[in-house]
Amino acid sequence: MKLPFQNTYANLPPSFFEKVTPTPVIQPSIIAVNDDLARELGIDPAFLRSDEGLAILAGNTIPDGAEPLAMAYAGHQFANFSPQLGDGRAILLGEIAGKDIQLKGAGPTPFSRRGDGRSALGPVLREYLVSEAMHAMGIPTTRALAAVASGELVLRETPEKGGIFTRVASSHLRIGTSQFFAARGDLESLKALVEYANHRHYPEAKNALDLLRHVINSQAHLVAQWMGIGFIHGVMNTDNMSLSGETIDYGPCAFMDRFNPAQKFSYIDQKGRYAYQNQPGIAQWNLTRLAEALLPLFDKNEEKAVESAKAELEKIPEIFEAAHLKVFSQKIGLQDNPDWDLIQSLLNLMKEQEADFTLVFRSLGHGEKTFLSQFKNETSAREWLARWQAAGEADVSLMNSVNPAFIPRNHRVEEAIADAKKGDFSTFLELHRVLQNPYQEQPGFESYQETPAPDEIVCATFCGT
């Protein structure tokens, strides 16, 4: 089968990338292929599972029509600016059906610095599970086309089995892409980037200010949706926030069990910069960096350019709050009479009583008794319930279509990874299957809804790169 590659990114000016070829691995094998996504892209899933397909997914052969490259980008990591990061362990093959097809872990690139360009199996499986679960929940995200075991070891703290992940994205343009050119004063490339990003993501947008406006809108909505499912990205660096508004870079990401607004999991995020409740503010901080990078394109007159940028940036809290209110109003089934006080008092109650974020919201569509059983102190939960009932008739089917029963709980993800490292992929595959229908009750699989037992609680996550 010939894969119908397009190479619009490779046709951008040379400042955008470095050409690179994947480094072959000795003995690759398929772990998972996403049949539905393959079909959506017009690729026969059986081809991907064939020897020829596997060789492509492992980086052992370059398919006809691909022009592999590593993308250039910069970024603020934990608020510190690096003028050059770039794809150190990712190689873009080209686009199929308008989507980027990228291999993660296929060997070093000119941007690898001291890294090996490889991925351990754990992060590959985590990204596969979580990104596909996000998609099934209706959250904008990059997708997983395939996971392959490389048959080689990668050296992390200890030697670990290696993997190669095929990521599909509307594009891999990041806020950091604009910062790369801004830092070099390369206005021609910056202009080309704006044109390209608008063309791919926001066809009605005409200029840099339109791009900023659209990215603000899509990222504000994205973060509101994250908040609604208790998702903590973990590394909201500007190189990990996409211009398309898709969730990208599932490193130390995690879902909250017990509700705690200050929750963070990432081991490297010691100060909690990227904690749950900080995500909206960080998104705004990142968007301000985008505006700074694009500034020279807003207006020839610097003062006017700053004024235009400010006017857009000032709207962020309002856009986010409206999206956030909508998400949570739907979660309590009262979309038509939004009431933040009512929502906030439920969140306060959940925090005080260390109730499970996912189960509390899901239980709202399953009767009083189920709801009350989520709380240690039924009296205050009963009081809240009375207020909620008095607020109007809740839309139960709406609630059940936005409050997931099944999320990739950290202990389940860790369990799937631990078994896979021992060579047993059945835990991973079953978890993945359950997560494909997050809003449906799945008889026989109730245990996947459960909170972790005390000895299963995951306290910290690691990038594991």
The residues binding ligand AMP (CB under 6 A) are 85-89, 111-112, 115-118, 235, 239-240, 249, 251, 463, 465
Q: How many CB atoms lie within 10 A of CB 138?
A: 14
Asked if 355 and 363 touch (Cβ cutoff 8 Å), the reply is no
Q: Between residues 87 and 95, which has the closer beta carbon with respect to ligand AMP? A: 87
122 binds, among ligand AMP, Mg ion, none (CB under 5 to 8 A by kind): none
Query: Which residue in 134, 129, 70 sits closest to 105, CA to CA?
Result: 70
345 binds, among Mg ion, ligand AMP, none (CB under 5 to 8 A by kind): none
Distance of closest approach, residue 186 Cβ to ligand AMP, in angstroms: 19
Q: Between residues 121 and 342, which has the closer beta carbon with respect to ligand AMP? A: 121
The DSSP letter of residue 277 is G
Label the pairing between strands 99-104 and 159-169.
Answer: antiparallel
Establish how many alpha carbons lie within 13 A of residue 358's alpha carbon, considering only the half-sphere containing its beta carbon.
Answer: 22
Distance of closest approach, residue 172 Cβ to Mg ion, in angstroms: 10
32 binds, among Mg ion, ligand AMP, none (CB under 5 to 8 A by kind): none
283 binds, among ligand AMP, Mg ion, none (CB under 5 to 8 A by kind): none
Instruction: Compute CA distances 305 → 176, 192, 287, 311, whole Å.
Output: 20, 19, 15, 10
Asked if 164 and 28 touch (Cβ cutoff 8 Å), the reply is yes
Q: Between residues 90 and 125, which has the closer beta carbon with respect to Mg ion? A: 90
Q: Between residues 77 and 436, which has the closer beta carbon with respect to Mg ion? A: 77
Distance of closest approach, residue 85 Cβ to Mg ion, in angstroms: 7
DSSP string, 8-28: TTTTS-GGGEEE--PPP-SS-
Q: Between residues 147 and 205, which has the closer beta carbon with respect to ligand AMP? A: 147
118 binds, among ligand AMP, Mg ion, none (CB under 5 to 8 A by kind): ligand AMP
Distance of closest approach, residue 439 Cβ to Mg ion, in angstroms: 30
Query: Which residue in 95, 89, 142 sits closest to 111, CA to CA?
Result: 89
Amino acid making up residue 108: P
Q: Is 336 a catalytic residue?
A: no
Q: CA 317, CA 285: separation in Å to the nearest integer?
A: 11
For Mg ion (CB under 5 A), the number of binding residues is: 2
Distance of closest approach, residue 283 Cβ to ligand AMP, in angstroms: 16
127 binds, among ligand AMP, Mg ion, none (CB under 5 to 8 A by kind): none
Write each residue from 377 to 416 as x if it is in contact with Mg ion (CB under 5 A), else as -, in one continuous string.
----------------------------------------
Tokens of 344: 């906030």
31 binds, among Mg ion, ligand AMP, none (CB under 5 to 8 A by kind): none
Q: Between residues 95 and 249, which has the closer beta carbon with respect to Mg ion? A: 249
Distance of closest approach, residue 75 Cβ to ligand AMP, in angstroms: 8
Query: Which residue in 85, 82, 56 sits closest to 73, CA to CA?
Result: 85
Q: Between residues 268 and 325, which has the closer beta carbon with respect to ligand AMP? A: 268
**Chain residue at closest Cβ approach to Mg ion:** 249
172 binds, among Mg ion, ligand AMP, none (CB under 5 to 8 A by kind): none
89 binds, among Mg ion, ligand AMP, none (CB under 5 to 8 A by kind): ligand AMP
Q: Between residues 162 and 408, which has the closer beta carbon with respect to ligand AMP? A: 162
Catalytic residue among 51, 87, 116, 239: 239
Q: CA 333, CA 403: separation in Å to the nearest integer?
A: 10
Distance of closest approach, residue 172 Cβ to ligand AMP, in angstroms: 11
Distance of closest approach, residue 85 Cβ to ligand AMP, in angstroms: 4
Write each residue from 232 to 261 as x if it is in contact with Mg ion (CB under 5 A), else as -, in one continuous string.
--------x--------x------------
Tokens of 420: 């896979």
**Which single residue is written with the structure tokens 């250039």?**
72
Spatial neighbors of 450 by CB under 8 A, at least 6 apart, are: none
Instruction: Compute CA distances 454 → 254, 376, 460, whole Å.
Output: 17, 16, 14
DSSP string, 145-157: EEEEEEEEEEESS
Distance of closest approach, residue 253 Cβ to ligand AMP, in angstroms: 11
Q: Between residues 79 and 463, which has the closer beta carbon with respect to ligand AMP? A: 463
Query: Among all residues, which ones are annotated catalytic?
Result: 239
Which parts of this chain interact with Mg ion (CB under 5 A)? 240, 249
